[in-house]
Amino acid sequence: MSNAPENLKGLEDLLASRYSLSVINEHLVVNDVWYINTDGELRQGKLAAPLTKVDQSTIGVPKSHQMYWSGTAPCNSDRSLIPFAPQSVKINIGENIYSSNLSNKPAPPEVFSNYRDLVMHYVTLISGPAEQLFGVSSQTGAKYDVPEETSPFKVADTFSACAQINDLNQLVANDRIAIIGLGGTGAFVLDFMVKTPVYSIDAYDFDVFQVHNGFRSPGEVPFEFFGQAKTALYKKKYDNFRHRLNFHDKRIEVGDDSIFSGITFAFVCVDDGESRRSICEMLTAQKISFIDVGMGVEKEKDCLDGLLRTTLFTEQTHDRAKEVVPFDEAGEAGAYRVFVQIAELNALNAAIAVIKYKQFRGFYADDARYFNSLLSIGSSNWVGEI
């Protein structure tokens, strides 16, 4: 994806007015903004705002009347503070840290209908006194080199910019993920992980997409894929969304250790006890942390009840984890073969697994630090082991 402002519809007026613009991490950055500090000295700062995009190349309406500011408190010509009601923040956008969130609403209707009005409003307030006293102009027209976009996504990640979580994304940015098994739970794990900014995803399954799979698969049910490989279906569904998404129509077997040589984290979503055992042993031997998921659901008193399990294997938890994971046909796998798992249970099992992965990486808080958790359908109790 190009991050050149010239390629975005909606910034033409700002560029024609010679504002120095950059697009970094899906933020619009205004460079070379002159201002006066509290000592009456001339300084430069940067303004930034998350971009709203209608599509890949069209800028929409700003979601907020506020802008981030990288400088110190800007002042009027008499050194009084410009009334911005600033809030202290720490937002990293590229190599710059923005320490303030400035708020100064325009005249009614108190919203900005475009980025031109937003930028000109703040630049006029901040730079006006500097222009008056020092004869400078923030309309420099300067262009700066911006690092190439390294996002794993083929679409603009404006969500992370608006949510202010670009710094947290870096905690998972280098992970190379393996998802083993694209059944009910594995398919939802894939759906969640495709939207997670990890470096790459390799997904494995050897089975075909059958009619019953359509009832526990995320999103639409494309009839033309019945009888085709699951990997073909999910490649078609997600390939346009992100880079480095690889599908392998293969069953993982003993001796496939080399497949995981570059993997940094894995999700094991299989229902065969012996396959689960061999996969877990291969991952453990290579010191790859992973999560194994499973559920046991049975019909009791004319309704379904059971447990959803999520188990984290690390070097520290491996010995305890292998004691709670079923490696035979009598546990979860037996119930699995009798009762079709229902989409919401698969989705919930997958969501808990992905949350646990993100907790492990520090993205989410994890006060309990469970390595194994069980969620009871009937009692709605969630218990875990540490």
In this predicted model, what pLDDT tens digit does every residue of 247-284 receive, in sequence order?
A: 999 999 999 999 999 999 999 999 888 889 999 999 99
Q: Cα dist. 329→168, 181, 338, 340, 385 in Å?
A: 40, 17, 12, 16, 24
Cβ pair 138, 19 in contact under 8 A: yes
Best CATH choice for the domain 171-385 from the list 3.40.50.720, 3.30.530.20, 3.60.20.10, 3.30.300.30: 3.40.50.720
3-state secondary structure of 382: strand
Closest CA to 56 of 170, 144, 151, 196: 151
Handedness of CA 220, 221, 223, 226 (dihedral sign): positive
For the chain, give the percent of residues with pLDDT over 70: 96
pLDDT of 2 over the 70 cut: no
In this predicted model, what pLDDT tens digit does every residue of 213-251 receive, in sequence order?
A: 888 899 988 888 899 999 999 999 999 999 999 999 999
Token pair listed for 197:
């900014």
pLDDT of 329 over the 60 cut: no
Token pair listed for 42:
């001339």
- 29 φ/ψ angles, rounded to the nearest 5 degrees: -110, 130
pLDDT of 337 over the 50 cut: no
pLDDT of 330 over the 90 cut: no
In this predicted model, what pLDDT tens digit does every residue of 349-360 receive, in sequence order?
A: 999 999 999 999
Token pair listed for 198:
């990890």
Distance CA 279, CA 271 (A): 12
For the chain, give the percent of residues with pLDDT over 90: 70
**Facing residues of 91 across strands?**
98
> Which spans in 17-165 are helix H?
115-134, 158-163
Tell me which residue has tokens 């085709």: 228
Q: So what's the pLDDT on residue 1?
A: 47
Give the least confident one: 2-6, 329-333, 356-360. Answer: 329-333
Cβ pair 264, 177 in contact under 8 A: yes
Distance CA 262, CA 301 (A): 48
Longest CA span, the chain: 83
User: Please, what is the end-to-end C-alpha distance for the chain in angstroms?
Assistant: 43
Q: So what's the pLDDT on residue 221?
A: 82
Side-chain-side CA neighbours of residue 173 (13 Å)? 10
Domain layout of the chain by residue ranges: 5-154, 171-385
3-state secondary structure of 119: helix
Average pLDDT over residues 135-153: 88
Distance CA 341, CA 80 (A): 66
Cβ pair 306, 377 in contact under 8 A: yes
Distance CA 348, CA 354 (A): 10
pLDDT of 345 over the 90 cut: yes
